[in-house]
Amino acid sequence: MNHAIDAEELKKEDEKLKKREYIRNMMRIYRKQDKDGLLYLRNRVKELERQLEQLTVKSKPRDESALPWKDVAHALNDERIQSECQRERLLKEVAKANTLLYDMKRWVAATLTIQRSPDPRGHTWRNSSLFIQPKSRLLGKKWITEQMYHNADRAFFAYDFPPLDVPLNSYEIQFQNGAYDIIMRQQCILDLPPKLVLALFRDYYCDITTVNWFDPVQSNTKAEVTDQTTLHQLEVAHKNHEYVNILVGEFQDQNLIVAQQIIDDEAVSMNVPQRNRKFWMQLVPLPSGQIVQRMLYVKSQLFTRSGGYVPLEDEARLWSIDLSHCKTDTEMEREFRHQGLQVIHLGLKIQAENRFRYHVQQALSKQFADPHSADSTGTTDQTLLS
């Protein structure tokens, strides 16, 4: 019986040993699996690190000088903004060009036929009109002044100027079709530097030519100034609100000043009384070294664009001339001519000479006070007096 117990115990002990051996084997397998898994993970980490390094290398720009994408985006955005600004500027230039073309078409269409050589005695829409658009306006000023410049000799010839060595001092009031023109012609020796005389007529035209009648022009009348032109504007308030809108051109190559009343100015909307004015003043050197000043000034009767010329009776009152005793148009014209010439010779002519003399003295005084001073136009007095 003891043997049976021993056999059973041996059997149980053997089973325990087998179980332990199984467990040890399984643990060995688990440990190997853990070791293999750890090795795999380590190798996997190394593999992933190699792949990451390769991807990082591939993502780097080949050219180290290339800009980052953000900088490129900013640059492209700046280019876009610049292109849009340029497009807007070009559209504005196209619009201005179309306006200029339209203005030029109007200019040409205003006259059915263009004279081959404009008559200096005549008056056309083209040489007394300015548009409001800047480029058209600049071209208009250039056309008006250069047309007068190129026709200066014809103007002096048409108004019967004598040879340069013959003095001339003539004032006329000529009636035609019920309206008059005052024609002033002068030719004399002038003992002044040409540049000074040109500058005075350019800057003080309204005062020197007595557009304000017997009152000096105290204000600055220069409204628009370019290299070659000066637009003078003045309202003669005490004379029926007459509006002066004179374009003056200066041509130093010929020592020439030209001037024209701008009758139709888009920048001046009011229908104001005005006079047509045409003016040429040239300084011509003689072989003796002397300077001859020849001057032609044509001024019309007062008119408005909508109503035409004012009645001669109203015009006469501006001159302080009484025509109430005249019974016919012929008598009124004769009386106006007679008394008008007296007003000119005994008043306006003397006033013009005094105003010119005043501005000459002012320029000379400024020169002697400060030889290096500059006038309002930026031209030194030393230059003017040279």
Centre a 10 Å sphere on the Cβ of residue 141 and count the other Cβ atoms it contains: 22
Q: Are 213 and 123 in contact (CB under 8 A)?
A: no
Query: Cα 236 to the chain's mean position, in Å?
Result: 27
Half-sphere exposure of 50 (CA within 13 A, CB side): 6
Write the CB contacts of 364 (distance below 8 Å, at least 6 apart in sequence): 385
Q: What is the DSSP letter of 374?
A: B
Residue 124 phi, psi dihedral angles, 5° rounding: -125, 160
Q: What is the pLDDT of residue 225?
A: 97
> How far is Cα 45 from Cα 38, in angstroms, rounded to an integer?
10
What number does CATH give the domain 162-384?
Answer: 3.30.530.20
Q: Are 295 and 160 in contact (CB under 8 A)?
A: no
pLDDT tens series, the chain, 386 aa: 566 667 788 877 878 887 788 778 777 777 777 777 778 888 888 888 888 888 776 665 555 566 677 777 877 888 888 888 888 887 877 777 677 666 666 655 554 444 443 444 455 444 688 999 998 899 999 999 999 999 999 999 999 999 999 999 999 999 998 899 999 999 999 999 999 999 999 999 999 999 998 899 999 999 999 999 999 999 986 667 899 999 999 999 999 999 999 998 999 877 889 999 999 999 999 988 899 999 999 999 999 888 899 999 999 999 999 999 999 999 999 999 999 999 999 999 999 999 999 999 999 988 777 665 544 444 434 344 44
Q: What is the pLDDT of residue 375?
A: 46
> How far is Cα 319 from Cα 172, in angstroms, rounded to an integer?
15
Q: What is the pLDDT of residue 230?
A: 98
* Structural tokens at position 218: 């105290």
Please report the DSSP string for 272-310 in residue order. --B--EEEEEEEEE-TTS-EEEEEEEEEE--EETTTEEP
Write the CB contacts of 123 (distance below 8 Å, at least 6 apart in sequence): 276
Domain residues of the chain, as ranges?
162-384
Q: Dihedral (C-alpha) 204, 210, 214, 215: value to the nearest 10 degrees?
A: -30
Single-letter residue type at 150? H
Q: What angle do CA 62, 67, 73 make, to 5 degrees?
A: 130
Strand partners, 293: 188, 283
> How far is Cα 216 from Cα 230, in angstroms, rounded to an integer?
19
> How far is Cα 229 from Cα 301, in angstroms, rounded to an integer?
25
